[in-house]
Amino acid sequence: MIVKKILEEEILTFAEVKEILEELKQKAIASGKEMRYEKRKVLSHVSKFAKTDAAKSRELVNELMKLGKMNREIAVRIADLMPKTEVEVRAIYAKERFTLTKEDIERILDCVARYG
């Protein structure tokens, strides 16, 4: 059995994954090959649910990271879901050990509105 080792790991938004897989698809087409089933399914999924392009989602994540009570996983989740209401933001933070103030939520929604 071939065992593969993880060399590096990074959390990506749907838009970033879509960009990477579209590049792989173009390379596969150019070389006369077909993408693997798993990659085609992931590309189909992220194409349906990516709400912005990769550059905008990266900018949004970077801007969100400057806010308090934010980590990369939550910033990516916010960039993927693009919440429009306070309730949606609270749902994203439901499993966290801290609560957000009204001002924190408004800052998050302002950031999302700029990139949405």
Domains along the sequence of the chain with CATH = 14-49 (no CATH), 54-115 (1.10.150.80)
Average pLDDT over residues 30-54: 94
Q: What angle, rounded to 10 degrees, do the helices at 54-65 and 72-81 form?
A: 140
pTM above 0.85, yes or no: yes
Give residues with Cβ within 8 angstroms of 5, minimum separation 6. Answer: none
Residue-wise pLDDT tens digits, 78-105 = 999 999 999 999 999 999 888 899 999 9
